[in-house]
């Protein structure tokens, strides 16, 4: 009966390809053999597979975030904002997906996690280099984290280059300047190997944009896209923190960080401070 049903489908859809001896398949295109073989746990515990997949999926999403952020920076630098808006909006949607991934990981109980935690050694999500690249791209930079990646020279050199490069907000501020706003030279010429700090000239420029949205519609859109990204980033961090607290409480992280204490501290970091400050003053 099952074969008959399949034959009926083939008859109705006669153009379906079934001979792939000389053609590329879906699995080959996606390299599924490598992708689906990459969940090699160390403990034999049932729930280690969940832990690995959630983190691998998050890393794939982060790869796409970086892909979109880099493209958006290029477009903003070229004064071509419309494609940048699409890319930044996509980043926000990706962030939403990563947040939902924490909901799945939160189904793991403390007892289940302790069944394989020792197998992780000192490996920790704190060491995610793509997460660091996202922080660097958004303008938050701390030199001490670079030491974590010295084991891999190519990776370390790539991170150092990203650390020293202008971030998304630097690019947006330069766009403000090119649009006729008086931005302090200390901001335009600042060393980009340090975290961005608030500046009155930048706040004044954004305030003017928000008070004259019809005149500066594209800059207004850019500002709101940036606010979206920081909003989702903070929700991502909060969901991460609460998931960790739910599973391990206030234990020290496997990588040596203070765990929940550290994650709570980073919630106070702001990437685009003037865009939040002006809301009180408008």
pLDDT in tens, 230-249: 999 999 999 989 998 999 88
Q: What pLDDT does 13 receive?
A: 64
Check whether 117 is labelled as a binding-site residue. Answer: yes
Is 46 annotated as belonging to a binding site?
no
222, 175 Cβ separation under 8 angstroms: yes
247 annotated ligand binder:
no
What CA dihedral angle connects 92, 134, 120 and 153, to 10 degrees?
Answer: 150
Nearest to 274 by CA among 164, 179, 190, 176: 176
pTM of the predicted model as reported, rounded to 2 decimal places: 0.90
Both tokens assigned to 268: 């106070």
From 94, 69, 237, 55, select the one nearest 162 (Cα to Cα). Answer: 69
278 is an annotated ligand-binding site residue: no
Interior CA angle at 67 toward 63 and 70, to 5°?
A: 135
- Structural domains of the chain sorted by starting position, each given as residue range(s) with its CATH number in brackets: 45-248+259-280 (1.20.58.480)
pLDDT at residue number 225: 98
**Is 75 annotated as ligand-binding?**
no
Residues of the chain where predicted confidence (pLDDT) is lower than 50? 1-2, 4-9
Is 238 one of the annotated binding-site residues? no
55 annotated to a ligand binding site: yes
Predicted pLDDT of residue 8: 45
pLDDT given at position 19: 86
Q: Is position 254 annotated in a ligand binding site?
A: yes
């Amino acid at each position: 009966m099952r074969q008959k049903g399949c034959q009926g489908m083939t008859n109705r859809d006669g153009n379906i390809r079934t001979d792939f001896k000389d053609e590329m398949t879906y699995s080959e295109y996606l390299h599924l053999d490598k992708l689906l073989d990459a969940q090699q746990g160390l403990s034999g515990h049932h729930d280690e597979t969940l832990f690995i997949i959630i983190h691998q999926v998050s890393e794939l999403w982060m790869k796409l975030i970086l892909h979109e952020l880099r493209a958006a920076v290029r477009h903003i630098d070229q004064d071509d904002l419309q494609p940048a808006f699409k890319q930044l909006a996509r980043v926000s949607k990706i962030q939403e997906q990563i947040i939902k991934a924490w909901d799945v990981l939160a189904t793991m109980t403390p007892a289940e996690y302790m069944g394989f935690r020792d197998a992780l050694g000192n490996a920790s999500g704190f060491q995610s280099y793509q997460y660091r690249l996202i922080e660097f791209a958004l303008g938050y930079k701390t030199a001490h984290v670079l030491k974590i990646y010295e084991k891999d020279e190519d990776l370390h050199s790539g991170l150092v280059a990203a650390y020293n490069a202008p971030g998304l907000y630097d690019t947006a501020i330069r766009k403000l300047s090119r649009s006729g706003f008086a931005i302090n030279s200390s901001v335009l010429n600042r060393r980009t190997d340090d975290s961005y700090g608030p500046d009155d000239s930048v706040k004044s420029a954004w305030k003017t944009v928000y008070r004259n949205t019809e005149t500066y519609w594209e800059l207004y859109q850019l500002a709101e896209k940036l606010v979206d990204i920081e909003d989702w980033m903070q929700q991502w961090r909060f969901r991460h923190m609460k998931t960790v607290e739910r599973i391990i409480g206030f234990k020290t992280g496997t990588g040596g960080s203070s765990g929940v204490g550290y994650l709570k501290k980073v919630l106070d970091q702001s990437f685009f401070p003037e865009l939040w400050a002006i809301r009180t003053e408008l």
